[in-house]
Structure 1
Amino acid sequence: MALGIVIAAAGMGTAQAASAPDPVKPQTTRPVEHTGPVPGGYASWKDLLLDQQKMVKAADRIAAAVARNGGGYAGVVAAPENRELRVYWKGKPSKAINDLVGQLRRDVAISVLPAQYTARELESEANRLIRANRDLITSIEPLQDGSGLAATTASVGATRTAIAGAAVPVTLSQGVQPKVASRWDDSPPWWGGSVWGTPSPACTTGFAVTYQGATKILSSGHCASVGQTAADPTGQAIGTVTHSNSARDVLLIGTSAGGRVFNNPVGNVATEFSNPVIGTTSSVVGMFVCTSGGFSGTLCNIRVAAVNVTINVGWLINGTVRAEQQAFTNAAGGGDSGGPVEVPNPSNTNQVYAAGTVTATDFSTQVPCTGYRPGGRVCTWRIYYSPWSNATTAFPGIAIITG
């Protein structure tokens, strides 16, 4: 896969406050829904999302058991189109894992499949390889079936020589050197999905959280530095950036924040709406998510293709998720950095779960933009986002604010 990873922040001057849309703060809710054919012969997206929710919860239970007891865990893939969760394991699972899988099978079909390497072995080798070849490797990720690693590079020949002694198989794909890539008039308490900058509008707010006893807004670490003042496109101060972690691409803005996110579309007061956040969700390969960038609007039918991906954007960002719009239309673009990645509640699509925040786009997958300034930004069908686990890793004790 060709790859040009670009942080999804708008460049300075790509939008001007004087010409920006000026929607009101909408209290109404509408469903956040996937569109297009439903995979796997499901009668509706609701039915698929209900099965997906069960699979993600089962994957979380297995991951928690692995964290406590260790073992040969390699990866997990949600395959709702096949009505099953696939768990890959090196060696023979322990009795505790077998008992847990047996219990989980009451609600979810689970296949336990053999793996060559564990997740820890692959993560260790991925970290070693990308740090030793920063000038060559643009991204690296573990294969969930435990068979090895997949990497993108600007020069296949040179990189193949450099990693000839890799401890695991590595699949290389040609790429390019990556670069770091209302909603428009929000007010306190600030919501996710609104545009912000320091001061020019360039990024999107993610989710309202609490951290160290204070309310804050989560967004992308590359959008600003600690101590800078965040403002909306009208110049109204949101708050000060209090914490940042570049290795996980997350930051926190100290401010009054509410547990809602703006959703579709951008710049039309009559049709814009917002939705309450009701919790968080893990990111599992195979699951479907939506994005809600302040520039692009709300976009769905985006499927998780890889987790625990390390991307090289001039510095290394760890633990990201690669996701791809299944109809090869816009998944996110310039200005959407930090914006919500969400999963509709299958039981009530007026509500959403927080999955993470938009980090980067892949310039080799450019498509027409949606939303604000569609002709003045770059948008792509393949994106990378920082999952909720990146926020909890960077800021232990962080908690989502529900609406």
Structure 2
Amino acid sequence: MIRPHPTTRRPVAMLRRVAVAAIGLTLLAAGVTATPATAAPGGKAATTGSFVDSTPVPGGFASWSELLRLQQRMNTAAARITNAAQRSAHSGFAGIVADPTTRQLQVYWKGEPPANLVATARATVATQVLPAAYSQRELIVAADRLRATAGNKITTVGPRADGAGLLVGTQDGLLGATALAGVPVTVQTGVAAAPATRWDDTAPWWGGAAWRNTATGGGCSTGFGVFQGGVARMLSAAHCANLNVLATDPTGQTIGIVGTRNAGTDTLLLAGSSGGRVFNNSTNAAGAVLSEFSNQVIGASASQVGNFVCTSGAYSGTRCSIQVKARNLCINVRDFGTVCGQVQAENTTRTNAVGQGDSGGPVEIVNAANNLQVWATGTNTAIDDTNTSVPCTGYVTTNRVCAWRMYYEDIFSGMAGVGASGVILG
């Protein structure tokens, strides 16, 4: 998770699963001393805008809209395959890479996949089926086995999307990892995970705004509005506050108490009215904020390996050119514990993805058909602040730690962790 600002006390968490000494990633809460370098206008952002148009388009596409249209078709096919695979207890499904820059969906399967499933995918997008050594179920079992035996020697662990084995993050390497896991292991060294308004929002609260923990003074970001038992609530990160802590915006206006909290998914719900929009902003080449606006949330979508996503924390502002590298990870967060359901992503430009203060903020996929709309895909949890630290961008650029490698909680896993039934639409 993103590491708290030095003036902020870190929450003590009871883990739902295996208790591990957290040595790795840094959480993203921030201290009260932060002041936005470029203050957002007070109240609601009445305008809307596109935050990807000023970002260079990868892969030789003519526009972000062209890239996102292909990515959306890939994700539609990927969701159908994943859902069908999960219904079978003996599925050989290993994983999917939906990188639009390759121009084809790559499906990894142990054995022969159902012919009708492949045909359905190919009717949506060019699809290549590739052999996998292990199924996703086999690799998840192996990941649990490795976490139980290696403990705090590992920072992250989860299945590789190609089914070749496990992806494991460590600080100093792990001798004998393959023997401990029982499957091949790809080890990333030097990996450390640490915890990661805008500044004057009003009810109904929107995603990407700043909020304060009144017990510690720590600063975090609001996530997506969600429903819990038919009531509107605000999603954010569990490491930002404990149960029953009162949350306010930076001006002191009450948002609500922390009513539900799950450390195992690093998600919480603020008991305040929330709406179906998120704050975003355009930037210049240096990452400075040019203009602020809000965007409509039109649903939730899982992000696949290879996808391009954007983040929208209250401190760093909107950041794009971020590509998913792995999903279904369990990460070991410094001074917090083990969090599962995590996605690893990296800014392809090696500039800031997220940083301190962005904890709990939205991770979004831009709608290909209308880039003024977004899909909810996750909430910010952590950064790798050991080897990927870079200068911070956005509203607060000093006295923070930021990084180009980040981790976020999958939107569906995060909602399930706090009993939320769906995102609020704008």
Relative to the length of structure 2, the TM-score reads 0.87
Comparing 124-133 and 189-198, the one that deviates more: 124-133
Query: 2:267–2:418: 8 Å Cα contact kept in structure 1?
Result: no
Alpha-carbon displacement from aligned partner over 1:293-344 (angstroms, at most 9, x marks no partner): 0001111110001101111014111010001111111110010000010111
Change (3 A) 1:297 1:162: closer
Overall identity of the aligned pairs, in %:
48
Q: 2:397 aligns with which of 374, 387, 396?
A: 374
Q: Name 1:390's counterpart in structure 2.
A: 413
Q: 1:39 aligns with which of 49, 58, 62?
A: 58
Q: 1:69 aligns with which of 68, 71, 88?
A: 88
Alpha-carbon displacement from aligned partner over 1:98-119 (angstroms, at most 9, x marks no partner): 1022022122011111000010
Please give the alpha-carbon distance, in whole angstroms, between the structure 1 residues aligned to 2:154 and 2:117: 38
Instruction: Classify the secondary structure of the residue corresponding to 1:91.
Output: coil
Aligned 1:79-228 pairs, distance under 5 A: 79-93=99-113, 97-156=114-173, 159-161=174-176, 164-175=179-190, 178-199=193-214, 200-228=217-245
Aligned 1:233-244 pairs, distance under 5 A: 233-244=250-261
User: Structure 1 unaligned runs (5+)?
Assistant: none
Report deviation, 1:170: 1.2
Comparing 193-202 and 112-121, the one that deviates more: 193-202
What number of residue pairs does the alignment pair up? Answer: 393
Alpha-carbon displacement from aligned partner over 1:157-193 (angstroms, at most 9, x marks no partner): xx31466342101122322654444311111111111
Comparing 329-338 and 200-209, the one that deviates more: 200-209
1:350 corresponds to 2:372? yes
Q: Name 1:21's counterpart in structure 2.
A: 39
Q: Name 1:283's counterpart in structure 2.
A: 303
Query: 2:289–2:317: 8 Å Cα contact kept in structure 1?
Result: no
Query: 2:24–2:171: 8 Å Cα contact kept in structure 1?
Result: no
Give me the CA root mean square deviation. Answer: 2.1
Instruction: Classify the secondary structure of the residue corresponding to 1:41.
Output: coil
Comparing 197-206 and 348-357, the one that deviates more: 197-206
Query: 1:248–1:318: 8 Å Cα contact kept in structure 2?
Result: yes
Instruction: Classify the secondary structure of the residue corresponding to 1:26.
Output: coil
Report deviation, 1:370: 0.7
**Counterpart code for 1:395:** V
Instruction: Classify the secondary structure of the residue corresponding to 1:160.
Output: coil
Comparing 173-182 and 252-261, the one that deviates more: 173-182
Report deviation, 1:219: 0.6
Query: 1:141–1:149: 8 Å Cα contact kept in structure 2?
Result: yes
Report deviation, 1:226: 1.4
Report deviation, 1:397: 4.9
Q: Name 2:14's counterpart in structure 1.
A: none
Alpha-carbon displacement from aligned partner over 1:23-54 (angstroms, at most 9, x marks no partner): 22211101131554433322211111001001
Q: Name 1:302's counterpart in structure 2.
A: 322
Q: Name 1:51's counterpart in structure 2.
A: 70
Q: Name 1:337's counterpart in structure 2.
A: 359
Alpha-carbon displacement from aligned partner over 1:179-228 (angstroms, at most 9, x marks no partner): 44431111111111100021235100001111112110001111111111
Alpha-carbon displacement from aligned partner over 1:97-144 (angstroms, at most 9, x marks no partner): 310220221220111110000101111111121232222111112111
Change (3 A) 1:178 1:81: closer
**Counterpart code for 2:330:** T
Aligned 1:3-14 pairs, distance under 5 A: 5-10=25-30, 12-14=31-33
Change (3 A) 1:347 1:248: same
Comparing 47-56 and 34-43, the one that deviates more: 34-43
Alpha-carbon displacement from aligned partner over 1:42-90 (angstroms, at most 9, x marks no partner): 2211111001001011110011111112410000001211211111001
Please give the alpha-carbon distance, in whole angstroms, between the structure 2 residues aligned to 1:328 and 1:67: 35
Instruction: Classify the secondary structure of the residue corresponding to 1:272.
Output: strand
Query: 1:344–1:353: 8 Å Cα contact kept in structure 2?
Result: yes
Report deviation, 1:395: 3.4
Please give the alpha-carbon distance, in whole angstroms, between the structure 2 residues aligned to 1:281 and 1:33: 18
User: Structure 2 unaligned runs (5+)?
Assistant: 1-22
Q: Name 1:315's counterpart in structure 2.
A: 337
Relative to the length of structure 1, the TM-score reads 0.92
Change (3 A) 1:160 1:366: same
Change (3 A) 1:244 1:110: same
Instruction: Classify the secondary structure of the residue corresponding to 1:48.
Output: helix
**Counterpart code for 2:276:** G
Report deviation, 1:4: 5.4
Change (3 A) 1:233 1:143: same
